[in-house]
Amino acid sequence: MKKLSLIAISGVMVLFSYMPLANAGNSAWLPAPGGGSVSLSLIYQNAEEFYRGSEKMPGPLAEDDLTQKTAMVQIKYGLMDSLALDLAVGGSEASKPGAGPKESEDESGVTDINVGMTLRLVDEAVTEAPSIAVRVGGIKAGSYDTGYINSIGDGADGFEVSGIVGKYLSDNFAISGELGYRMRNEDVPDVIFGNVTGSLLFADMFALSINYAMENSTDGIDIGSDGFTPSRFPETEEDVHTLGSTLTFLVGGGASINGSYARVIDGRNTGEYNIFAVSLGYSF
C-alpha cells in the first residue's frame, strides 16, 4: 500500500515537468513488472505578473492574466523489476495576452511528447540504502505556434537525463529528490532541473506531499534585451522556482484522486503562475 501511494503521488507531481514551469519530479519507486498506472489530469494556471529578465512586472496588459488550460495523459509501465517506461502527452490552450503580434487569437495544440525509461540501480526493499534510479527521456515538440508570450511550448526536440533518489524514513514518511540536465535543439537553452519532495501517508488512504522544484537555463537572452524579438521567445533564459503540494486519496481497487496546487515563487523570463491540477489515476 505504501508503494502504491507513492506511485499515485508521483503520477500527478510529474505533470508539472511538461508545463512551462519547473520539473516537479520523477520517481525512484517503480511499478512491478507487468504493472503500471494511467492518469488523466486537468491543469489550470494563471499569472497576473511576469518576470521580464529578473524584474517582476504586470502582464502584457494590466487587465489581462496569462492563462493556460491543459489536459494531460500519463502512462507508466513496469517492463522488468528494475526498469519502467513512461509516456506523457496532452492538449493545451493558452489565452491571448491582449498584446503582441497575434493578439486576436488564443494559442492551442498538442503539448510536447515526453517518453522516458527509468532504471533502478538500488532498491531500498533489499538494502538499507535509499532507492536510486536513473531516467533517460526523449522530447518531441508538439503541434503549436512559437514566438509568442502565450505559446504553449518552445517547439524543440531534445532529451534529458536525471538521477533520482527516494527513501522511507519511517512507515509513513518518505522523501525523494531528482537532479537532471535537459538539452534541446532550435537554439533553446540547456536546462539544469531538480526537485525535493516530502510525502506523508495517512491510514493507507491519504497522502500529502510538499514539493520544491527548480529549472535554471544555462544561458539565453532576456525579454526586452538588445536584439530580442518575439520570435526569439524560445531562446530566453527561463529560470523557475516552484513550491507546491499534492493531496492524494486512494479510492480503492487501484484508483486514486489527486488535487494539487503550486506557485512560482521566483523566476526569470517567466510568468508568476498559480497552478491548479486535478488528476484521476488507476494503478494495475
Contact 98, 65 (CB under 8 A): no
Q: What is the pLDDT of residue 22?
A: 33
Calculate the average pLDDT of the chain. 84
pTM: 0.87
Domains of the chain, residue spans: 2-283
Distance between CA atoms of 83 and 76, rounded to whole angstroms?
11
Burial of 107 (0-12, 13-18, 19+ CB in 10 A): buried
Q: What pLDDT was estimated at residue 134?
A: 97
Q: What are the distances in angstroms from CA 253 to CA 1, 4, 175?
A: 11, 11, 25
pLDDT in tens, 31-56: 889 998 898 989 999 888 888 888 88
pLDDT < 50 stretches in the chain: 1, 4, 11-24, 61-62
SS (H, E, C) the chain: CHHHHHHHHHHHHHHHHHCCCCCCCCCCCCCCCCCEEEEEEEEEEEECEEEECCEEEECCCCCCCEEEEEEEEEEEEEEECCEEEEEEEEEEEECCCCCCCCCCCCEEEECCEEEEEEEEEECCCCCCCCEEEEEEEEEECCECCCCCCCCCCCCCCEEEEEEEEEEEEECCEEEEEEEEEEEECCCCCCEEEEEEEEEEEECCCEEEEEEEEEEEECCCECCCCCCCCHHHHHHECCEEEEEEEEEEEEEECCEEEEEEEEEEEEEECCECCEEEEEEEEEEC
CA atoms within 13 A on the CB side of 43: 35
For the domain 2-283, what is the CATH superfamily, name and number? Answer: monomeric porin ompg (2.40.160.40)
Q: Could you give phi then psi for residue 45, rounded to 5 degrees?
A: -140, 145
Instruction: Please count the residues of the chain.
Output: 284
The burial class, CB within 10 Å (0-12 / 13-18 / 19+), for 62 is exposed
pLDDT of residue 147: 81
179-188: pLDDT as tens digits? 999 999 999 9
